[in-house]
Amino acid sequence: MSKEVDRRVLLPTNVRPTHYTLTLTPDLVNFTFKGSEVVNLNINENTSVITLHANDIEIKSAKLVNSTLKTNQGYRAVNIAKNAENQTVTLTFPQEIAAKTTATLHIEYTGILNDKMLGFYRSSYKDQDGKTKYMASTQFEATEARRAFPSWDEPAIKATFDITLIVPAEMTALSNMNVVSETRLGDGNKEVKFARTPIMSTYLVAFVVGDLGYVESFTTGVHNGGKSVTVRVYAPKGEERHGDFALKIATSTLEYFAEVFGIPYPLPKCDMVAIPDFEAGAMENWGLITYRTTAVLFDQKASDARFKKSIAYTVSHELAHQWFGNLVTMEWWTDLWLNEGFATWVGYLAVDKLFPEWEIWNQYVTEGFQRGLQLDALRSSHPIEVPVNDSSEIHQIFDAISYYKGANVIRMLSAFLGEEVFLAGVKRYLMRHKFSNASTDDLWKALTEESGNDVSKFMTLWTKVAGHPVLTVEETGNTLRIRQYRFLSSGVASPEEDSTVWWVPLGVDLGPTDTQHEIGTVVLTQKEMTLVLPEKCDFYQLNARKTGVFRVNYVPERLSKLGEAVKKGLLGPSDRIGIMADAGALAASGYGKTSGLLNFIKNFEDEDQYIVWCEINSRLANLLNVWFEQPEHVYQGLLKFQRQLVSKLVTKLGWEYSDNDDYLTTMLRSLVIKMAGKANDPDTVREAHRRFHSFTKRNEESALHPNIRGVVFEIVLSYGGGNEEFDSILKYYSEARTADQKVIALTGLGFAQSEDLIQRALKFSTSEEVRNQDIIYAFNGLQANRKSRRALWNYVKENFYMLHDRYAKSLAIFENIVKFGVELFASEDDIKDVEKFFSNKNCKDFERSLQQSIEKIRANAAWVERDSKDVEEWLRTNGYIE
């Protein structure tokens, strides 16, 4: 056993559960619950002591009945000792029980339906009549099942569950399995019993209680062993009709995954529930998937189209988990990436199958692919397989490494082996480990057997070592000298940091051959290599289609030639995106010059692809964010460059949306109007104000299409908007019919320019009018607005203890509060300020994200110091400043 395993804080192995019989009675008036459980145990060692997890629950009694006893009286616990630090309770019994027997543990307990969005918690909402109502839901990943029932709350300790809920007779009760009986009780309640679950981990158990409606569909069963699956989307009554889009996605995706994985979906039903208060995007509880409202409900008349893609992807991601995570579960949280990285990759795979016209893999190159690379480029990052020793560390690895670098590595391997071979290996892995647990090595073994390649040999470093390479390419005639270095966004790696030699499939593209590009299969397996191109080969690129997890640093002349190739239409969207992203990352880290990035972007004046414009916007927004306190004439020069780049396309697309527009055109129109507005394009700002006032003053709903409302809110408040406009957006927020429209209004408020309005936006973000989960949208707007960025950080400092008390239980949210407060600063003074502020705080639960934010400030500061003159000279030379 490795040292990493030895350091894990695990429960004793003297007993192990095989089955839980669990009865819960939630009280949605007093926000408490009663629980009763019987746990079937295998006794592995002679023992009189049982330790299991319990947190924030009060055990009233505990009794142990041994199978060797002739009576059912059993032994009552003589001592019940809590360990708050380890979140355990130790039960001591008067007599020892013999090994190799079985027993049942009977526990009665009570708990609180908290408002922290974890464990067994309450969520509130307004019904159709404006009355406040409550529902109860669960969020157990990673270690919160212990808040709902005493348990062996570790992923490898699987058991089966019989769950019963006693709830008000008029309410809907849901759990992982289908209802087998429903009995009216004499006190106005009903007892709802559910079928026995498959063997599963505690973090996947779930229950929901509320006044819910649903929409329903069924799979065909063609790829599911002939068995049709009942699929439902639940929501507070009156909202369920907005679940139709997610329902269609889920029904099709369940059938697709049953086919792709070669294993039927093992449960008779799949419920998806919109929860008004929800920390994450969604949670893959087996058979009862819970969602943030914006991730599952879509109003065809009132919702912004950008939420459509996120719903399709999120639903597909969570359904992928029903196999990859639920059926086969990681052995321990170190292998979290097996759940999340794979579900990310296969979620995109499903969306591509359902909506090929969305070009989702090209979108992935500018979204998930870059997010994984960006976090992985920090010294304060971590390997995909990261040692996790106790529960306080687990939540900190639910990040872009586990999700997106994990998906990047899978995508690279799938491209190398071939998707068909790769998925065949995945089938082998799932069949071998279904209803059990597995590790990364188990996946590599199955893929090795299927492909005939020693996958572990060349993939192990990708998961066990932090970082990824940048390949520098030197040209001598038709000979390329390619060398790999570890890429760091904050500067060149030291020799000690640069000791890894990655396996790198180069993806060499030698340009058009008839209508196809010739993709090479050359692999770099050493620090450097020489590659000889064909004679008179004037075009090449590495990492074609951008499936390899690395950056490419071309000589400036080659980058210019690739820019010419853009103009000639010789590069596909993913390649245009990838080369630009590399140029941006290399400029920010010092490997290249920012002027080189700007020169490359200048080639895109005739670009018409939404996905490519996403990357252009990302790179220019990053530059503007870091340059936000540079001399005003330089900042305005950058805005002028963006204005001229985008103005032609804004004129071409206009402001009107048509039912005949395809999805990507719809998204492109919203994006370029946003970019033109941010760049203070006079015509765009004028039109935004005109439409805003028609919408707010004359109630002309058609003046502001839902796709453009958030964009217009930002433009109007950024340029010329004052108290009247702020109040109008605030009114829209309070009256908005859908959660996604509330989100865009809340974000828009953050673009206020006057100090008074900025302070109003800050105070509103933490008021009772804003759900705890939604503070991140408010802070996102305030962070994006350069006028409010410092006010936001001051607000975080002044209200730190209030924010910590309110959000620390929802650590993903609290981490984002800290990040939004600081990570776009760009000076050494800011680093000192941040470090001083946190020097006397207990940062254990968010230390990793804090260090990552500080490192980002350091990288930003170095970038500005290094390239501020370079950018100013480029802007002046190209006529963007006088």
Q: Could you read off the pLDDT of 281-300 as tens digits, one per residue?
A: 899 999 999 999 999 999 98
As beta bridge partners, residue 480 has: 475, 531
The residues, any chain, with a CB within 8 Å of residue 51's CB and separated by 6 or more, are 11, 12, 88, 89, 90, 91
Closest CA to 331 of 385, 408, 412: 385
Rounded to the nearest 10°, the torsion over CA 479, 484, 490, 493 is: -120
Q: What is the mean pLDDT of residues 654-683?
A: 94
What b/e sequence results for 489-501 when a residue is b if at least 16 CB atoms lie within 10 Å of its CB, and e otherwise?
A: bbeebeeeebebe
CATH number at residue 523: 2.60.40.1910
Count of structural domains, the chain:
2
**Are 610 and 664 a contacting pair, CB within 8 Å?**
yes
Which residue stretches of 569-631 are H helix? 573-589, 594-601, 610-626
pLDDT of residue 5: 43
Q: What is the mean pLDDT of residues 104-121?
A: 95
pLDDT of residue 287: 96
Distances (CA, A) of 100 to 15, 47, 157: 10, 11, 18
* Res. 772: pLDDT tops 90: no
* Res. 41: pLDDT tops 80: yes
Residue 625 lies in a domain: no
Q: Collapse the DSSP code of 18 into the 3-class scheme (helix H, G, I; strand E, B; otherwise coil) and give the result.
A: strand
**Are 413 and 508 a contacting pair, CB within 8 Å?**
no
3-state helix/strand/coil string of 448-504: HHHHCCCHHHHHHHHHHCCCCEEEEEEEECCEEEEEEEECCCCCCCCCCCCCCCCCE
Please give the model's pTM, rounded to 2 decimal places.
0.94
As beta bridge partners, residue 256 has: none
Crossing angle for the helix pair 682-697 and 706-718, to the nearest 10 degrees? 110
Q: What is the mean pLDDT of residues 845-874?
A: 93
pLDDT of residue 732: 95
Q: What is the H or E stretch that residue 328 is in? A: strand 328-330
For the record, the structure tokens of 383 come out as: 């390997």
- Domain hosting 527: range is 469-566
pLDDT band at 513 (very low <50, low <70, confident <90, very high): low
Residue 204 lies in a domain: yes
Q: Which of 168, 192, 209 is the last residue of a domain?
A: 209
3-state helix/strand/coil string of 780-800: HHHHHCCCCHHHHHHHHHHCH
pLDDT of residue 1: 30
What confidence tens digit (pLDDT) does each residue in 575-633 have? Answer: 999 999 999 999 999 999 999 999 999 999 999 999 999 999 999 999 999 999 999 99
Q: What is the mean pLDDT of residues 77-92?
A: 93
Q: Collapse the DSSP code of 428 into the 3-class scheme (helix H, G, I; strand E, B; otherwise coil) and give the result.
A: helix
* Res. 646: pLDDT tops 80: yes
CA distance 201 to 317: 19
CA distance 56 to 60: 13
Is 321 annotated as ligand-binding?
yes
Q: What is the mean pLDDT of residues 789-798?
A: 96
* Res. 491: pLDDT tops 90: no
pLDDT of residue 137: 97
In terms of pLDDT, which residue wins out, 458 or 672? 672
**Are 164 and 206 a contacting pair, CB within 8 Å?**
no
- Estimate to the nearest angstrom the gap between the alpha carbon of 434 and the chain centroid: 25
Residue 273 lies in a domain: no
Q: What is the mean pLDDT of residues 168-180?
A: 97
**Are 582 and 548 a contacting pair, CB within 8 Å?**
no
Is 714 annotated as ligand-binding?
no
In terms of pLDDT, which residue wins out, 393 or 203? 203
CA distance 3 to 201: 25
pLDDT of residue 515: 44
**Are 634 and 881 a contacting pair, CB within 8 Å?**
yes
pLDDT band at 130 (very low <50, low <70, confident <90, very high): confident
Residue 849 lies in a domain: no
pLDDT band at 145 (very low <50, low <70, confident <90, very high): very high
For the record, the structure tokens of 312 come out as: 């399709």
**Beta-sheet pairing, 75-76 with 79-83:** unpaired
Q: Return left, alpha or beta for 307; rule: phi > 0 is left, psi -120 to 50 is alpha, else beta.
A: alpha
Residue 797 lies in a domain: no
Distances (CA, A) of 190 to 178, 185, 588: 16, 5, 61
Instruction: For 163-232, give the DSSP string.
Output: EEEEEETTSEEEESS-EEEEEE-TTSEEEEEEPPPPSB-GGG--EEEESEEEEEEE---TTTTT---EEE
For the record, the structure tokens of 572 come out as: 């596909």
CA distance 195 to 218: 19
What confidence tens digit (pLDDT) does each residue in 524-537 have? Answer: 999 999 998 888 78
* Res. 722: pLDDT tops 60: yes
Residue 108 lies in a domain: yes
pLDDT of residue 4: 44
Catalytic residue, chosen from 144, 255, 318, 615, is 318
Query: Average pLDDT over the chain, rounded to whole?
Result: 92
How many CB atoms are located within 10 Å of the residue 132 CB? 8
What confidence tens digit (pLDDT) does each residue in 373-412 have? Answer: 999 999 988 888 888 777 666 766 677 788 899 999 999 9
In terms of pLDDT, which residue wins out, 846 or 800? 800
Q: Name the percent of the chain lying above pLDDT 90.
A: 78
Q: What is the H or E stretch that residue 758 is in? A: helix 755-765
Q: Which of 526, 541, 566 is the last residue of a domain?
A: 566
For the record, the structure tokens of 725 come out as: 């406009």
Q: Name the percent of the chain lying above pLDDT 70.
A: 97
Q: What is the mean pLDDT of residues 195-222?
A: 95
CA distance 410 to 505: 13
Residue 557 lies in a domain: yes
Q: What is the mean pLDDT of residues 58-67?
A: 92
* Res. 517: pLDDT tops 70: no
Q: Collapse the DSSP code of 69 into the 3-class scheme (helix H, G, I; strand E, B; otherwise coil) and give the result.
A: coil
What confidence tens digit (pLDDT) does each residue in 324-347 have? Answer: 999 999 888 788 888 889 899 999
CATH number at residue 22: 2.60.40.1730
How many CB atoms are located within 10 Å of the residue 35 CB? 22
* Res. 469: pLDDT tops 80: yes
Residue type, 575: D
- Tell the burial category of 462 from Cβ atoms under 10 Å away from its Cβ (0-12, 13-18, 19+): buried
What b/e sequence results for 528-560 when a residue is b if at least 16 CB atoms lie within 10 Å of its CB, and e otherwise?
A: ebebebeeeeebbbbbbbbbbbbbbbbeeebbe
* Res. 222: pLDDT tops 80: no
* Res. 2: pLDDT tops 70: no
CA distance 541 to 399: 31
Q: Which of 176, 209, 242 is the last residue of a domain?
A: 209
Residue 377 lies in a domain: no
What confidence tens digit (pLDDT) does each residue in 562-573 have? Answer: 999 999 888 999
* Res. 82: pLDDT tops 70: yes
pLDDT of residue 3: 40
Whether residue 700 lies in the annotated active site: no
Is 340 annotated as ligand-binding?
yes
**Are 193 and 185 a contacting pair, CB within 8 Å?**
no
In terms of pLDDT, which residue wins out, 385 or 715? 715
